[in-house]
Amino acid sequence: MLIKEIMTKNVVTINPNETVFDACIKYRDKKVGCLVVIDKEICIGIVTERDLIERTMCLHKDPDKTKINDIISSDIKTIQSLETLEKALEIMKEFKIKKLPVMSDKALVGVITITDIANARPELTKRFIDSWVKPRWED
């Protein structure tokens, strides 16, 4: 199965110069699990709810003044829309991430999450849990 077959196509994006408060509003209004950071039509990062909490609230930064660019996960990992779900799981496991922006050439066309894969192919998710999550629980 290909990424493009199950990815979320309506990606909610944010500009790196917008504030953390702006991100919170988008999360509330759009009910999404991540915001993809786009600068001049290039995917430069991703902001998760965890980023908002750990990099803003826990560090006592002002959400009205802190820019998204200051808290994004900028070592962005992406996947091409014609790759397989297995490839997505490999990347997620290697980099310990749960969300991947999906590209078609250089254009953002979607987002794929571990939940998307679990819904489409539960047997892959079991293998993923057995190989990644369970060993971490035993540490």
pLDDT above 70 as % of the chain: 86
For the cut 70, the answer to whether the pLDDT of residue 134 exceeds it is: no
74 membership: H or E segment, kind and range: none
95 phi/psi in degrees, rounded to 5: -105, 5
**Number of domains into which the chain is organized:** 1
Q: What is the mean pLDDT of residues 76-86?
A: 95
> What local confidence, expressed as pLDDT, does residue 61 receive?
74
Domain at 97, CATH number = 3.10.580.10
Give pTM, 2 decimals: 0.82
> What's the pLDDT tens digit per position in 4-36?
999 999 999 999 999 999 999 999 999 998 999
**Beta sheet of 107-113, edge-to-edge order:** 79-80, 99-104, 107-113
Residues listed for the chain: 139
Residue 130: the pLDDT is 66
- Amino acid identity of 16? P
Q: What is the C-alpha to C-alpha distance for residues 49 and 23, in angstroms, rounded to an integer?
A: 9
> Does residue 137 surpass a pLDDT of 70?
no
* Contacts made by residues 8-15, CB under 8 angstroms, sequence distance 24+: 8/110, 8/111, 8/112, 8/113, 8/116, 9/109, 9/110, 11/36, 11/101, 11/108, 11/109, 11/110, 11/111, 12/36, 13/37, 13/38, 13/108, 14/38, 14/47, 14/68, 15/39, 15/68
**Domain enclosing residue 70, as ranges:** 3-138
Q: Which helix (H) or strand (E) holds 112?
A: strand 107-113
The tens digit of pLDDT for each residue in 47-64 reads 988 888 888 766 677 878
